[in-house]
Structure 1
Amino acid sequence: MTFEEYVGSRGPALLRLARLLTGDEHRAEDLTQDVLARAYVHWRRIVRTERPDVYVRRMLVNANTSWWRRRSSRELAVDAFAERPQRGDLGGEAADRDEMWRLILGLPDRQRAVLVLRYYEDLDDATIAQILDCSPVTVRTHAMRALANLRERCGVPTTNGSRR
């Protein structure tokens, strides 16, 4: 498979994954472009791997994590906090979707990546483990913690009636 064929067939899926990881259209486009530029340089080696798509997805997840680490290590001094703009009435479904994305984007990087890869990319635990360079057990642990975190933020009680 040539690099051009790969990008033609998998490019939209990579961009969708980047959008789900970043929560920002423009950042996702930049992230995808950067990763594909790096993949192009190493394409001969990547295409020889058993599953090139897993390799490139892993590059995407790692690049996003690196960006967040670089960004979070800088301080920005401000005089005062800006007022948060008031949202208009978006309607029930759109408002719920926006709220869910806000909650998902608030998760730690690994938890967010596991949820996106599992529920939006429909990947199994073994494939997610390859992408994130961890074990399938770790993937399940991140998934359980992410879901528990989301339930807690939404005020949903746990099955035994107690809250964590």
Structure 2
Amino acid sequence: MIDAEREFVEYVSARLPSLHRTAFLMCGDAHLADDVVQQTLTALYVHWRKVSRADNVDAYVHRMLVHKLVDEKRLSWAKVRLFGSTPEPERPVTPHDEVAERDSLVAALAHLPRGQRTVLVLRFLCDLSLTDTAAAMGCSEGNVKSQTARALAAIRQLLAVTEMAGRNSR
């Protein structure tokens, strides 16, 4: 059992930043991303012996992450708020060129439907193959291709509108 726990800790230690980034880009909320990653890692720990024998552990874990995010979104109506009022939104950091680009990309991703956002994050930001993305999402490769095409068209349009608005405000 000690070897299995050590393997789990090594796996999680190596992949934790990537899992957080993936979850954040899929949901657009840092706190929700933390919750989803924690739920995924808890489930991963419980099933580590089975998961560690999988052909592609990373694909298996990405699929778990996607499922946990879907569960979180589906069951969010049942959540209890632990504070008396809605917190004020975080104030944006003074944008530098790279930060502004990242922020506009994250904002554009937030406007996409969940499936399209998930496809773009897994394919281009996590660098998963078409087959691995389809496996993680539990759909066909054709579905991934069509979601990708629609998502890229939509994000190009959103980024163009954002860029034009930025030029007009100068």
Q: What amino acid is the match of 1:40?
A: Y
More helix by share: 2
Q: Please point out which of 110, 116, 126 is paired with 1:121.
A: 126
Gaps of 5+ in 2: 80-87, 162-170
Counterpart of 1:6? Answer: 11
> Against the structure 1 CA distance between its residues 109 and 92, is the aligned structure 2 distance closer, same or farther, given a 3 Å change threshold?
same
- Superposed, 1:49-64 pairs within 5 Å as 49-64=54-69
Gaps of 5+ in 1: 75-82, 157-164
Q: What amino acid is the match of 1:26?
A: H
Counterpart of 2:28? Answer: 23
Which string of whole-angstrom CA distances, capped at 9 and with x for unpartnered residues, describes residues 11-31 of structure 1? 222122112112222222221
- The 1-side partners of 2:55 and 2:90 are apart by 48
- The 2-side partners of 1:58 and 1:65 are apart by 11
- Superposed, 1:150-161 pairs within 5 Å as 150-154=155-159
- The 2-side partners of 1:85 and 1:37 are apart by 29
Matched position secondary structure for 1:50: coil
Counterpart of 1:33? Answer: 38
Offset at residue 58 of structure 1 (A): 0.6
Counterpart of 1:137? Answer: 142
TM-score by length of 2: 0.74
Offset at residue 73 of structure 1 (A): 8.3
> Against the structure 1 CA distance between its residues 137 and 86, is the aligned structure 2 distance closer, same or farther, given a 3 Å change threshold?
same
Counterpart of 2:105? Answer: 100
- The 1-side partners of 2:95 and 2:160 are apart by 22
- The 2-side partners of 1:71 and 1:5 are apart by 32
- The 2-side partners of 1:33 and 1:20 are apart by 16
What is the CA RMSD across the aligned residues, in angstroms?
Answer: 2.7
Relative to structure 2, which stretch is displaced further, 90-99 or 52-61?
90-99
Q: Determine if contact 2:120/2:148 at 8 Å carries over to the other structure.
A: yes
Offset at residue 91 of structure 1 (A): 4.7
Q: What amino acid is the match of 1:132?
A: M
Relative to structure 2, which stretch is displaced further, 29-38 or 94-103?
94-103
Identity of aligned residues (%): 39
Count of matched residue positions in the alignment of Structure 1 and Structure 2: 149
Counterpart of 1:79? Answer: none
Q: What amino acid is the match of 1:35?
A: T
